[in-house]
Amino acid sequence: MSRDLKKEIDEIRRSGRISREGLELILTAPAGDDTGYLFEAARDTSLRIFGRDIYLRGLVEFTSHCKNDCYYCGIRRSNTKADRYRLTEEEILACCDAGAGLGFSTFVLQGGDDPYYDDERMCHIISSIRARHPDCAITLSIGERSRKTYQSYYDAGANRYLLRHETANEDHYGMLHPSSMSGKDRKRCLFDLKEIGYQVGCGIMVGTPCQTRDDIYEDILFMQELGPHMIGIGPFIAHKDTPFANEDNGSVDVTLKLLAILRLIFPKVLLPATTALGTADGAGREKGILAGANVLMPNLSPPDVRGKYLLYDGKICTGEEAAECRICLQKRIESIGYHVSDDRGDHPDFRN
Ligand code: 5AD
Ligand code: FES
């Protein structure tokens, strides 16, 4: 393999930083020996901190209504073909109960940006989950809100918040979102969440239209400024009923390389091998773990709504029951020499 590349990888590992040239070298390196060394280094780092434990997050996609109109997203407001649904509090609680029965100790409530779930409703849902599952971690992924609202969710019992920044470059942000949304607001939300005391997850899609390697470098710098506890990245996958219907999908190889780079820069970060990665490549989630990821987010949504929460085409696991996904994932994880942990999987330096 190229000596420069090996030196670059060793240097990221040593310093926890990457140069623009280093990023270029890694992202343009052909698959094979070169990337093998990168993945090995990332795996090794993950093993040192987390051992062979893989944490599960039970994902409850509780609403497919969204007031936003992001160009990439299948549940965007303007997609009149999207099948919309909302889960009641009872249904959400039933998903969590079923998840707890399957050994999950973390629940992620994810949905479109849906004003129906106002502060009062949302806080009621959060505190009801907290009352029934006192020791679980409650994660929210419901978009941009005011600091006051974020505080009220936290006070009701939420611990973590996922809000991908999508792209740190403001111009690129503007190519992916209508003018009603801004990258600045998004970043402000992330800093608010962190200050309140949440474990915070940011992240990007890999290979969105017009994304350059400079953008990706800016993303890494932004992540270093934020200091997230979790980072969600997965390939962009076109959805047929969006303005990006005819755009190319993101590359699995680049996604895997970025996972590995992020593991080296943020050794302790919680890094999921995402459903989008598993959709783009049948073995994508296993490859993600072997590139340094340590989290999987199986779906706990009721089977009758799964096929309606379609952010992108071809999404996997829309026909399975929660229990089936749980068994499937366990097999996949064990086949590569790792095991499912029933721990909450907090960031090693943090517990709230
Ligand atoms: N392809 C891949 N990921 C997508 N997301 C939304 N639309 C797509 C798509 N077409 C991701 C966004 C969002 C997360 C919930 O899902 O990054 O933050
Ligand atoms: Fe729903 Fe973007 S279309 S958050």
* Nearest ligand, measured from the Cα of 181: 2
- pLDDT recorded at residue 1: 66
Q: Assess whether pLDDT exceeds 70 at residue 130.
A: yes
Q: Is the pTM of this model over 0.85?
A: yes
> Is any ligand 2 atom within 6 A of the Cβ of residue 70?
yes
For residue range 194-205, what is the model confidence (pLDDT) as tens digits? 999 999 999 999
Three-state DSSP class for residue 133? coil
For a mutational test of ligand 2's pocket, the pick from 63, 75, 78, 80, i.e. the residue with the most ligand atoms closer than 8 A to its C-beta, is 75
CATH number at residue 327: 3.20.20.70
CA neighbor of 317 nearest in space, from 302, 331, 295: 302
Q: How far is the CA of 55 from the centre of ligand 1 (A)?
A: 21
pLDDT at 3: 79
- Whole-number Å distance, alpha carbon 253 to ligand 1 midpoint, is 18
Q: What's the confidence (pLDDT) of residue 352?
A: 80
Q: How far is the CA of 236 from the centre of ligand 1 (A)?
A: 7
**pLDDT at residue 169 above 90?**
yes
Residue 42 lies in a domain: no
Across the range 137-152, mean pLDDT stands at 98
Give the number of the atom of ligand 1 that is nearest the alpha carbon of residue 232.
17
What is the CB neighbour count within 10 angstroms for residue 234? 27
Residue-number span of the structural domain to which 112 is assigned: 51-344
Point out the ligand nearest to the CA of residue 76. Answer: 2
Kindly report the protein residue whose alpha carbon is nearest to atom 2 of ligand 2.
70
Closest atom of ligand 2 to CA, residue 75: 3
| Cβ proximity of 82 and 74 under 8 Å | yes
Neighbours of 214 (CB within 10 A): 13
Question: How far does the centroid of ligand 1 lie from the alpha carbon of residue 7, in Å?
Answer: 34
Assess if residue 352 is contained within a domain. no
**Element (H or E) spanning 97, and its range?**
helix 89-101
For the sheet with 295-296, list strands across it: 295-296, 53-56, 339-341
- Say how many domains are in the chain: 1
pLDDT band, residue 351 (cuts 50/70/90): confident
What's the 180 CA to ligand 2 centre distance in angstroms? 12
* Ligand 1-lining residues (CB < 6 angstroms): 72-73, 164, 166, 205, 234, 236-237, 239, 276, 311-312
Tell me: the pLDDT tens digits for 236-266? 999 999 999 999 999 999 999 999 999 999 9
Q: Report if residue 28 sits inside a domain.
A: no
Q: Which ligand is nearest to the CA of 78?
A: 2
pLDDT in tens, 268-323: 999 999 999 999 999 999 999 999 999 999 999 999 999 999 999 999 999 999 99
Q: What's the confidence (pLDDT) of residue 277? A: 98
- Structure tokens that stand for 92 in this block: 């959400």
Average pLDDT over residues 328-337: 98
Is 31's pLDDT higher than 90?
Answer: no
73 alpha carbon – ligand 1 mean position (Å) = 6
Residue 25 lies in a domain: no
pLDDT at 32: 82
DSSP string over 181-246: --HHHHHHHHHHHHHHT-EEEEEEEET-TT--HHHHHHHHHHHHHH--SEEEEEE----TTSTTTT
pLDDT in the model for residue 155: 98
pLDDT at 283: 98
Please check whether residue 237 lies inside any domain of the structure.
yes
Task: Confirm or reject: Cβ of 205 under 6 Å from ligand 2.
Answer: no
Q: What percent of the chain shows pLDDT beyond 70?
A: 100
Ligand 1 atom with the smallest distance to the CA of 249 is 1
